[in-house]
Amino acid sequence: MPAYRPEEIEKKWQAHWKAHSTFRAQNHSDKPKYYVLDMFPYPSGAGLHVGHPLGYIASDIVSRFKRLQGFNVLHPMGFDSFGLPAEQYAIQTGQHPAITTEKNIDTYIKQLNSLGFSYDWSREVRTSEPGYYKWTQWIFLKLFNSWYNLDTDRAEPLTALTARFAESGSEGINAAGDADERQVFTAGQWALFSEQQKLAAVHPYRLAYQQDTYVNWCAGLGTVLSNDEVKDGLSERGGFPVERRLMPQWNLRITAYADRLLQGLDTIDWPDAVKEMQRNWIGKSIGAEVTFPVQGHDNAHIKVYTTRVDTIYGATFLVLAPEHELVDALTTPEQRAAVDEYIAATKRRSERDRMADTKTVSGVFTGAYALNPVNNEPVQIWLADYVLAGYGTGAVMAVPSGDQRDYVFAKHFGLPIPAISDAQKDLDQQADPTKEGHYINSGFINGLGYKEATAKLIAYLEEKGLGRGKVNYRLRDAIFGRQRYWGEPIPIYYKDGTAYGIAESDLPLVLPEIDEYKPTETGEPPLGRAQNWLYKGKYPYELSTMPGWAGSSWYYLRYMDPTNDARFVGEEAEQYWGTVDLYMGGAEHATGHLLYARFWYLFLKDLGLVSGNEPFQKLINQGMILGRSNFVYRLWHTWDTNDPNSDEHMELLPSIYVSKNIREALRDVTLDQTNNPAVIDFFNQVKEIEKSARLMYPDFNAKLKIHNVGGDGKASFSALHVDVNLVENDVLDLEQFRSSRDDYKSAAFVTEDGQFLCSWEVEKMSKSKFNVVNPDVLIGRYGADALRLYEMFLGPLEQYKPWNTNGISGVGGFLKKFWRLFHPEDGPLAVTDESATPAELKVLHRAIQKAQEDIEKFSFNTSVSLFMITVNELTALKCHKRAILEPLVLLVSPFAPHLAEELWQELGHAAGSISTASYPEFREEYLVEDTVTYPLAINGKVREQMQFAAAATAADIEAAVLASDFLAKHGEGKAAKKVIVVPGRMVNVVV
């Protein structure tokens, strides 16, 4: 046979696996089960890059290894196929998102198959298929028709709740959620309620409910965005302004499960970092809710939650979120303009930006005062964007002597910072949150310690009706609506303004055809464009769709039984496969998908529909493959025009991008430094850009306004990733950049001597960062087996790894060397049936032992090193023996399956049968040494070596050394005083 040709071998075996359904799993088997799951991908138009297969390769190695160990392995793949990118492409082109998605999935399947993954494609799911999202809608309806009973600590049907209403009214109902939102009524009143009144009373108990919620609203995209989709107050896609807006939204009451989600973390084998992220995200704390009356407003009061109620006498001001419902009523006329300006600025920042920015101190006084409930002293009421409306009560009791952020705020605005404990130190420099010492300046708790003071304060507040002890969670209910088209329709219709769930028999509620995929002219979501889209022909449907994480919260269950039309997963299939044994995916999903999936599973558990306690038993986060990213800097600016339709035509006016070195110079100087060369160059070019815009659109009378976001007189910029394929030696190809995206068409550039330089950094390789390397090219050049081995060889699976394409050639050379053990000098098969030597058996069984240990520890990089060492040793031994090479093929097969299949067949086995073979058995006796080489020393100085039988005793070794000429050669005529034998290590003769 000719030389090793991966392009031929790999296509041959990929076709064989597909034709013979080699990796199809059975839902009934006498074998033990093993469920390996990959986080399924969103099928973007760019396809896979070399960073994506890392986790897929690792999970495939485990899947193939487990089959060799005799397991019935479920290893499925599917697609998270709803999403914003497909919708935006549809808006731009008019092409239905389903067409784009189908095309992208075809590309992904081709790429995945080219890497030789052992997926059971008969179980493929796509979240955008009606047959799939029928069951996503079904689960939503179950949530809509359930409430959480805190007495039984589980979700129950609403019918159980309404039965209690009919029997005893709302009294004694202990349900998850905000009790203040719920009505109080008797059984008699309930009986007299109309249908609408009963539904209104029930709604605040539902696990899926509608409520006015603050969201990131992007008018330019016509939809709500997640925090991940907002950067510096602009949409990551398109750079459109984003503001915080109060909108009616569907929510899921994940907070009901907060405690169970915390407890479950102790039962699963997940990385500690991920579990800690979830604990922090859930954020359980024990404290008190305190009510501060507002001075001069009889019916207004502000609730705060604090874990340090013991510090209440040191509360010298309150801080409200700018979105707090009382802001408008509390703001005095003198402060109105300042407050309005501050609120407008806050709307342009995402919650994530506000939480992450710990350096900027900003706030505004409302002009109003609250009364401290323990001493009736007035405290100022301020607004600050570090307080979020959706967290806790949207208000903070600021104690500057005990909290550093409050301290910095108080210092900045000149607010008092009184000491409250005799143990506090250095309050002229920083806050001191100590719980030691005794309280001072603190009324009736003066002289008390922390525990005693806390208990006394809570008792006082509860007695006076001004507060209560409370367990709080940082976790918020999950917003479940998106004003988009390409998502699961929410199965809700409205009758007389009241929400109803559609009948389960009417599922799926299929996405209707519409003429455009953008919001209506009146601001409704895209589904508002659907003609005659009514339930039963007369009731309007909900126009929002579900978020992307809806379908991914339960897909692992559908893989178990993907063609079941009667149930989301068959009972027998679910009980057989149980929970996922190994889940492979990125750590970036720790507080999103992984948390939501656990929540849905616990809910389904409450309904008796799943049999486990947690969905994913073991989780591994593969590390990122890092790439070299390039950035362009977009100047913060707007265009003022006299065109009444300026918003409609604004995309015609250029966005301005500033070259790297000019931007870096502008970071260090203010724009009023007119004698600074960088400032002069910048303004000269900007004026030319403005002049060109005015000449091109004379009717606009366009004027450029440069924003100074930081308020320090310096220009401000947004750093945006740019496709590395448009950059050479950090110089941007301007024309290619303009043509790469529609929103770049009118881009203008502040350059350096005519060149536009990009900055760069090494970071995660991803399509969103435009720094990807296409695996198709590497497979065409080196083969899939080489790429698989190289990605594993880069380093430990869970660590970050820089990509270097040049390194793959070395792995390609190893595979050729492995091939030549079977085909010396690339000639015909030369495997013999000769008996193996002890040296050859030792090499083999050392590899068997180490490879199994490595795979079970997920240490795949050391496995690849082991194979290289093993092949080198067998090559040196000129080993071409079946007894050695056949087991070696099995060892290598999980890593390089195509080459292994080819050699397995050449060795006389049925085509494609390697997956049903057995993993080689390790036999320790082949590693036992017959002899041991001992260093021989005189007075601790090694002089030579001597071999002894492995079973030799210390006395035998001593006698043999003294009987040899060792002492005569090295002892300088001296007699031996003592011979020290360290078994298996060395011999030292003392003279």
Measured distance CA(93)–CA(737) in Å, rounded: 20
Q: Which positions make up the binding site for ATP?
A: 767
* 946, 931 contact by CB (below 8 A): no
Q: Which positions make up the binding site?
A: 767
Q: What is the block-wise mean pLDDT of the chain (991 residues), using blocks of 10 residues?
A: 88 98 95 97 88 96 98 98 88 91 96 98 98 98 98 97 97 91 95 96 97 80 74 76 83 97 97 96 94 93 95 97 93 96 84 75 96 96 89 90 95 96 95 96 96 96 94 90 94 96 98 91 89 96 95 98 97 97 93 96 98 97 90 91 65 91 91 89 95 88 83 88 88 95 91 95 82 90 97 94 86 97 94 95 96 97 96 96 98 98 97 96 87 91 90 89 90 90 92 90
Q: For residue 951, what is the DSSP state?
A: T
What's the number of CA atoms in the CB half-sphere (13 Å) around residue 400? 21
Please name every residue paired with 37 in a beta bridge, in sequence order, or none if there are none. 583
Nearest alpha-carbon partner for 618 in 120, 70, 36: 36
* 616, 553 contact by CB (below 8 A): no
Tell me the C-alpha to C-alpha distance, in Å, between residue 322 and each of 300, 331, 383, 845, 918.
17, 11, 6, 68, 65
* 98, 89 contact by CB (below 8 A): no
Please provide the DSSP assignment of 537-554 as one string.
TTEEBP--B--THHHHTT
Measured distance CA(453)–CA(201) in Å, rounded: 40
Count each helix (H run) and each strand (E run) in the chain, helices first.
32, 37
In the block, residue with structure tokens 């301290």: 407
Per-position b or e across 5-41, b if 16+ CB within 10 A of its CB: ebeebbeebbeebeeeebbebebeeeeebbbbbbbbb
Q: Which two tokens stand for residue 978?
A: 């003592």
SS3 category, 471:
strand
pLDDT value, residue 597: 98
pLDDT value, residue 646: 54
pLDDT value, residue 47: 87
Measured distance CA(407)–CA(361) in Å, rounded: 11
Q: Which two tokens stand for residue 369?
A: 């005062």
Neighbour count for residue 980 (Cβ, 10 Å): 13
**Interhelix angle for 860-876 vs 808-822, to 10°?**
40
Measured distance CA(435)–CA(311) in Å, rounded: 10
Tell me the C-alpha to C-alpha distance, in Å, between residue 649 and each of 233, 641, 654, 703, 708.
21, 10, 11, 14, 24
Cα torsion 569, 570, 576, 580 to 10°: value is 0
Neighbour count for residue 588 (Cβ, 10 Å): 15
Q: How far is CA 531 from the centre of its chain?
A: 38
* 496, 411 contact by CB (below 8 A): no
Q: Which amino acid would we find at residue 984?
A: G
- Using DSSP bridges, classify how beta strands 931-938 and 986-990 pair: parallel, antiparallel or unpaired: parallel
pLDDT value, residue 765: 83
Is 331 exposed, middle or buried (CB count within 10 Å of its CB: 0-12, 13-18, 19+)?
Answer: buried
Q: For residue 628, what is the DSSP state?
A: E
In the block, residue with structure tokens 């899947």: 63
Measured distance CA(765)–CA(50) in Å, rounded: 8
Q: Which amino acid would we find at residue 428?
A: D
pLDDT value, residue 821: 97
Please name every residue paired with 337 in a beta bridge, in sequence order, or none if there are none. none
pTM for this entry = 0.80
Measured distance CA(904)–CA(317) in Å, rounded: 77
Measured distance CA(578)–CA(111) in Å, rounded: 30
pLDDT value, residue 644: 63
Q: For 308, phi and psi rounded to 5 degrees? A: -130, 60
**Interhelix angle for 808-822 vs 775-782, to 10°?**
30
* 696, 706 contact by CB (below 8 A): no
